[in-house]
């Protein structure tokens, strides 16, 4: 009787991809630029719609703010789903589908007969489409840029500023010409451009070269092994901690015979489920203390990020400012926001100080500016506030995503971004309604800005904790290296 054949393995030497930092990377940046604009740029411009919908349905400030709140929360909650779908299929197809969902959702929202239907369409469905477009595109940008990543993130996020600058007066003009329903219908057509952004996302090659070393003669390696799937298997099975430009790793990929042999000695269902989940979502991130602290920063920052842009136009209108002057405040904020993102992204790229330290300073400044907002009552004072808020807001958002790959590594950016957005969703969901609650109780839009400012100051405390954890970890590594010497 012949002895049973030993499991056969194929050993591959895989060189992980090097971020080009140029070439086709600029097309990825252009795609991300417009995705930022057609997602968060539209969210920031929605304050113009807020006034009209609030008057049309004769509801409370908190009730109307739930539309934006549900949108923002859904973007965050659905981010891990978008990451998993991108791993299972492709970034390009997921973004394309997200663009179709956004367009259809806003188009249906123009037919809404009550606030509940707006919650479902413009809120939930539109937010889900935004998640499918924004998350994969930002992930691809992080893959294509390494040395220039802070600057690339700043330039891409500038799309949010430029389109906010353009869309706010445009929405006001469309509302005056076609009512808020007609303006929403036109917005739905505009969001079809997200599909074009998706088509620009060409996959970054995951294999530079590979050679195979057979231990025994046997069946060839399954030819259908997709490059993207293999990349995620490398990430999940080996739990790579760092990736350098020229790093080479050996990965053993068992063939079908080996897989059957292993499954006969283990619980096949549990192994398959665990491996399948890890291929698409790295849930081990919840054990990373620094990542969780940074996620708590995201929760409190989200409480203060979105309410000011939603209530700036209504606040100005409540002070007697005319419609187009109130809309112009958002455009002024967007111009300074753009400058803040580009300039402070460039500063972060110089690596003069640690990115976490720079982020801490900008978050504290942003909270302070919001706390001073209720002192502004005239148009000139509101212009000064809008300019200051836009500048410091841009300085903050230009680098807050850049910190994430520094914490978990670029190879885990997709999963980390999804989990970060999921955890931050509670802040995005509750921020505008909490601000609206205080506005309804105090009958003063200024209280919404006070709430946002306090939330941002609290979020800065978590950045200080993160900085201390990083210093402690760095000291531990240095001490270990000295002992080994």
Question: CA 349 to CA 344: how far, in whole Å?
Answer: 8
Output DSSP code: residue 287: G
Average pLDDT for the chain: 78
Q: What is the pLDDT of residue 350?
A: 80
Enter the tokens of residue 315: 């606040």
455 HSE (CA, 13 A, CB side): 26
CB of 337 within 8 A of CB of 41?
no
* Longest CA–CA separation in the chain, Å: 95
* pLDDT by residue, tens only, the chain of 485 residues: 555 555 554 444 444 456 677 778 888 999 999 999 999 889 888 888 988 898 888 888 778 888 988 998 898 888 888 888 888 888 899 999 999 999 999 999 999 989 999 999 999 999 999 999 998 998 888 888 877 777 787 788 888 888 888 888 899 899 999 999 999 999 999 999 999 999 988 887 653 444 444 444 444 434 433 443 444 443 333 333 333 333 333 334 444 444 444 444 455 555 555 555 555 556 677 788 888 888 899 899 988 887 888 888 888 988 888 888 888 888 898 889 888 888 887 888 787 888 888 889 999 999 999 999 888 889 999 999 999 999 999 888 878 777 887 788 767 776 787 778 778 878 878 888 888 888 888 888 888 899 999 999 999 999 999 888 877 876 665 656 556 55
Predicted confidence at residue 55, as pLDDT, reads 86
CA distances from 241 to 94, 223, 232, 253 (A): 27, 28, 14, 20
**CB distance 366 to 456 below 8 Å:** yes
CA distances from 279 to 103, 126, 206, 254, 275 (A): 31, 28, 15, 16, 6
Q: Sort strands 212-214 and 248-254 into parallel, antiparallel or unpaired.
A: unpaired
What token pair was written down for 204? 């970054």
Per residue, the 3-state secondary structure of 370-424, as one string, reads HHHHHHCCCHHHHHHHHHHHHHHHHHHHHHHCCHHHHHHCHHHHHHHHHHHHHHH
In the chain, CATH 1.20.1250.20 sits at 25-203+283-473
Task: Give rounded-to-5 percent helix, strand, coil for the chain.
Answer: 75, 5, 20
Q: Measure the CA–CA gap between 159 and 134, rounded to whole angstroms.
A: 12
Give residue 426's pLDDT.
81
pLDDT by residue (tens digit) across 296-349?
A: 998 999 888 878 888 888 889 888 888 888 888 888 988 898 888 888 878 887
- Architecture of domain 25-203+283-473 in this structure: Up-down Bundle (1.20)
The closest of 266, 280, 270, 285 to 233, measured between CA atoms, is 280
Q: What is the pLDDT of residue 230?
A: 42
| E runs forming strands in 243-306 | 248-254
Task: Decide if 342 contacts 154 (C-beta within 8 A).
Answer: yes
CA-based end-to-end distance of the chain: 55
Question: Number of C-alpha atoms within 13 angstroms, CB side, residue 231?
Answer: 23
Residue 258 pLDDT: 42
Neighbours of 273 (CB within 10 A): 11
Q: Please tell me the predicted confidence (pLDDT) of residue 19.
A: 64
Integer CA distances (angstroms), 367 to 353, 373, 476, in order: 21, 10, 34
14-27 in b/e form (b: 16+ CB < 10 A) is bebbebeeeeebee
pLDDT at residue number 5 = 53
| pLDDT at residue 444 in the model | 85
pLDDT of residue 215: 42
What pTM value is reported for the model? 0.65
pLDDT score of 282: 65
Six-digit token pair at 209? 């070269």
* Rounded Cα–Cα distance for residues 382 and 371 (Å): 13
pLDDT of residue 192: 93
Packing angle of the helix pair 227-238, 268-280 (nearest 10 deg): 110
In this structure, are residues 369 and 336 in contact, taking their beta carbons and an 8 Å threshold? no
């Amino acid at each position: 009787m012949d002895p049973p054949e030993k499991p056969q393995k194929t050993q591959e030497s895989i060189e992980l991809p090097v971020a080009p930092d140029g070439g086709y990377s600029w097309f990825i940046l252009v795609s991300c630029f417009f995705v930022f604009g057609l997602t968060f740029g539209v969210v920031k411009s929605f304050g113009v719609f807020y006034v009209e919908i609030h008057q049309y349905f004769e509801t409370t400030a908190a009730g109307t703010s739930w539309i934006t709140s549900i949108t923002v929360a859904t973007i965050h909650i659905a981010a891990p789903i978008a990451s998993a779908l991108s791993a299972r299929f492709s970034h390009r197809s997921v973004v394309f589908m997200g663009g179709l969902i956004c367009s259809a959702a806003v188009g249906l929202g123009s037919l809404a007969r009550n606030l509940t239907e707006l919650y479902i369409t413009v809120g939930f469905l539109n937010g889900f489409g935004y998640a499918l477009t924004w998350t994969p595109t930002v992930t691809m940008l992080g893959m294509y840029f390494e040395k220039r990543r802070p600057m690339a993130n700043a330039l891409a996020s500038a799309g949010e500023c430029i389109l906010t600058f353009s869309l706010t007066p445009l929405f006001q003009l469309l509302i005056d010409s076609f009512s808020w329903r007609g303006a929403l219908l036109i917005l739905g057509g505009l969001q079809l451009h997200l599909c074009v952004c998706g088509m620009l996302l060409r996959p970054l090659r995951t294999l530079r070269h590979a050679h195979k070393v057979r231990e025994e003669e046997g069946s060839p390696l399954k030819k259908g092994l997709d490059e993207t799937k293999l990349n995620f298997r490398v990430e999940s099975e080996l739990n790579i901690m760092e990736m350098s430009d020229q790093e080479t790793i050996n990965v053993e990929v068992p063939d079908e015979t080996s897989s059957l042999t292993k499954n006969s000695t283990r619980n096949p269902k549990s192994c398959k489920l665990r491996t399948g989940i890890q291929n698409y979502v790295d849930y081990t991130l919840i054990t990373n203390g620094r990542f969780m602290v940074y996620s708590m920063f995201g929760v409190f920052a989200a409480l203060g990020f979105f309410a000011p842009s939603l209530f700036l136009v209504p606040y100005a209108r409540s002070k007697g400012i005319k419609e187009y002057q109130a809309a112009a405040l958002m455009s002024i904020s967007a111009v300074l926001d753009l400058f803040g993102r580009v300039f402070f992204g460039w500063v972060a790229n110089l690596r003069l100080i640690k990115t976490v330290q720079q982020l801490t300073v900008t978050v504290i400044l942003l909270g302070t500016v919001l706390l001073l907002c209720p002192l502004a009552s005239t148009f000139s004072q509101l212009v000064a506030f809008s300019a200051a808020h836009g500048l410091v807001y841009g300085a903050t958002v230009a680098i807050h995503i850049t910190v994430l790959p520094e914490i978990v590594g670029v190879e885990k950016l997709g999963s980390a971004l999804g989990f970060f957005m999921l955890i931050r969703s509670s802040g995005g969901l509750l921020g505008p309604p909490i601000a609206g609650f205080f506005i309804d109780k105090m009958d003063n839009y200024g209280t919404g800005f006070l709430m946002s400012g306090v939330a941002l100051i609290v979020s800065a405390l978590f950045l200080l904790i993160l900085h201390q954890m990083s210093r402690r970890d760095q000291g531990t590594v240095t001490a270990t290296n000295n002992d080994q010497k």
